[in-house]
Chain A
Amino acid sequence: MRRVEPGVLVGGGVLGLIGLWAALEAWGYGLWRARAPGEGLYPFIVALSLMGLASASLVQGAFVRTTASLRPGFDDDAGPPQWRKIAIYLAGLAALAGLLPALGYWIVTAAVLVLILRGAEGLSWRLTFAVTAASSLVTYVVFERLLGLPLPRATLF
């Protein structure tokens, strides 16, 4: 037996755990009701399938050697992964999802753009503010003015 690749282990493991959790939840909804399938039956079957397939992928990862396909156009041997950039991007996405309802669209989006453009991509402050301002202006004109579609407002103030 050879060592399971980390990607297979994490992917299969996470999906298997999600399947287990979903199966337990679906069981709670009720599998059968009044001589008819209950609301939990279908998700329960799907969750069991997910668990089974995740287990099979772990087994396959342990026994079968597969060739990893490189993404075309990316030089994967040119240096170490840029973990700091990935962390900043993920933090920006998390901030956007978490803070949007409280702080509204404009503040959060501008802050996330500044964080990514300056923090991750290393643009100058001047260019960062210029791109952020231009982006906000275009969004405002297109959605608020032309389409009349209000963007989410802050609920905190």
Chain B
Amino acid sequence: VSDILANAALGFGIALSWNNLLFCLIGVTLGTAIGVLPGLGPAATIALLLPITYRMDAVASLILLAGIYYGAMYGGSITSILVKVPGEGASVITCLDGYAMARKGRAGAALGLSAVGSFIAGIIGTVGVFLLGPPLASVALAFGPAEYAALVVVGLVLVTHVAQSTPLASLLMIAAGLLLATLGVDPIYGTERFTFGQLDLFDGVPVAILAMGVFGVAELLAVASSRGGAPAPIYPPGQVRELLPSREEWRESAPAIARGTGLGFFLGLLPGGGALIASFASYVIEKRLSPHPERFGQGAPAGVAGPESANNAAAQAAFVPLLSLGIPANVVMGVMMGGLLIQGIQPGPRLLATRPDLYWAVICSMLIGNVMLIILNVPLISIFVQLLRIPFRGAIALDHPVLRHRGVLAAQQRFRCRINDRLRCRRLAAASGEVRSGPAGPRFRPRRHPGALGPPGAACRARLARHLRAAPDRGGAARLGDAAAAVAGAEVALG
């Protein structure tokens, strides 16, 4: 207990300095903003801001970047609820009941449940990281390829329960999603599959872009083609008190928030798209446990509160493998790890011994950041809800982020290609024992064309296989589950 208190004192002592508080505030505000902007994810934003952090203190820079990440989890649900365009992959499932609630005039309640659920999950998740992070990190490391494959299968089975149509239709969409997930460069041989020679397809189909297409464009076309000419009107209430969730909605959502937090925290510890699987799993569990499962998809509060809590808890837990083991759980963490390496800090088991100030300050800043986020977000609910008052015809320019950000998405996708090229090269180089770590991180020459790597020789393949057994490519498995989940979600959305 004395150790915990000492660590907390150390962490809060650093995180509560004016300088770090300011960077935390900037981070969570920026994160919320980029979560609202569909297409500009935290990975791209953090990568864009990396050069700014070169001259900053390592603790301040990590507090800033972490704030952007979990702030984006808050913001990602806003557009899911208001315009059915998820800002983040992990907010895809919120489109179902969040948007349905908005259509019933309960947009404020949905935003409130999302914000409060995220806050509770963020606080509990951070406390969990504080108390259990280092011991649980070793448990997460015990997950091998077989366990990950089982996890993906569980995810796919869960998706069949999300759909409201027949199980056959769900399975058909899952198969379509799995096929979509094979697009791109084969991770072992480097062969292009179904790319038509297009550079944009080399890295596959990013789940956020896919979700924006199937939800955003589909909704746009559905509204445009509705025989009545316009959808049923939405009347957001004028009083702030009426914007917040009712007592009944709180009662229904409280257990969902608790379950989503626990589930999200556990799945977030596992490297590889934990937030997305956690949000889907939470939705399915709530639907199964609810006495009124037929309300899911029609605006059930638990269908918003559970997944939003799960994805935020997973976002907090994702820092455990990065800081404790030096394993980035997802692309965002990979970029953050790059930032740390540039600062000359090697994340991993020795970080706690060599830089306890950084470790505990970042974790304590998450608690502070979550408090800042709830203070920022709740007053903004009434402003966000006013967006629904804009007539549909005029709102197209607003509701058209899918169109307007397509160019940004293309640029972002190319950027991800480059990032993944580097990660692949690093992995291959690591397998061949060619990585030389230094203050500036691993040095290698990324190849422009991943296919140019060609099929590796037997010795290299054996080394690669050994390396993959030690640190399996979670990205492929996660992408596989992501695409299937998104397409299955689309199947639900399209009825």
When distances are taken between beta carbons in the complex, the residues of chain A under 8 Å from B217 are 93
Q: Which of B178, B194, B224, B404 contacts A109 (CB 8 A)?
A: B404
Confirm or deny: B361 has a beta carbon within 8 angstroms of a beta carbon on chain A: no
Interface string of A80-95 (1 = CB under 8 A from B): 1111011001101100
Would A39 and B193 be within 8 Å (CB), given that A53-B171, A113-B397 are in contact?
yes
Is A78 in contact with B227, judged by CB distance below 8 angstroms? yes
Min CB distance A77 to B, Å, is 7
Contacting residues of chain B (295-338) with chain A, CB-CB under 8 angstroms = 298
Q: Complex: how many Å from CA A16 to CA B363? A: 50
Is A74 in contact with B403, judged by CB distance below 8 angstroms? no
Confirm or deny: A156 has a beta carbon within 8 angstroms of a beta carbon on chain B: no
B132-140, B184-192, B284-292: which lies at the interface:
B184-192
Confirm or deny: A18 has a beta carbon within 8 angstroms of a beta carbon on chain B: yes
Interface string of A8-26 (1 = CB under 8 A from B): 0000100100110010011
Is A151 in contact with B179, judged by CB distance below 8 angstroms? no
Confirm or deny: B95 has a beta carbon within 8 angstroms of a beta carbon on chain A: no
Q: Complex: how many Å from CA A113 to CA B220? A: 13
When distances are taken between beta carbons in the complex, the residues of chain A under 8 Å from B37 are 142
Q: Which of A72, A131, A149, A151 contacts B397 (CB 8 A)?
A: A131
Confirm or deny: B4 has a beta carbon within 8 angstroms of a beta carbon on chain A: no
Confirm or deny: A121 has a beta carbon within 8 angstroms of a beta carbon on chain B: yes
Confirm or deny: B175 has a beta carbon within 8 angstroms of a beta carbon on chain A: yes
Q: Complex: how many Å from CA A152 to CA B225? A: 30
Q: Determine the interface band of chain A, counting residues with CB < 8 A from chain B.
A: 35 or more
* 14 A-B interface contacts by CB (under 8 A): A18-B179, A39-B186, A49-B178, A50-B172, A69-B164, A71-B226, A72-B232, A75-B232, A78-B227, A80-B227, A86-B225, A113-B400, A120-B224, A142-B37
Contact surface of B with A, Cβ cutoff 8 Å? 37, 40, 44-45, 48, 100, 103, 164-166, 168-169, 171-172, 175-176, 178-179, 182, 186, 188-189, 191, 193-194, 217, 220-222, 224-229, 231-232, 298, 393-394, 396-398, 400, 403-404, 406-408, 410-411, 455, 458, 495
Given contacts A54-B172, A82-B227, A150-B411, 8 further A-B contacts (CB under 8 A): A29-B186, A46-B175, A53-B172, A56-B172, A82-B225, A117-B397, A134-B397, A143-B408
Contact surface of A with B, Cβ cutoff 8 Å? 12, 15, 18-19, 22, 25-26, 29, 33-34, 38-40, 42-43, 46-47, 49-50, 53-54, 56-57, 60, 66, 68-69, 71-83, 85-86, 89-90, 92-93, 96-97, 100, 105, 109, 112-113, 116-117, 120-123, 127, 131-132, 134-135, 139, 142-143, 147-152
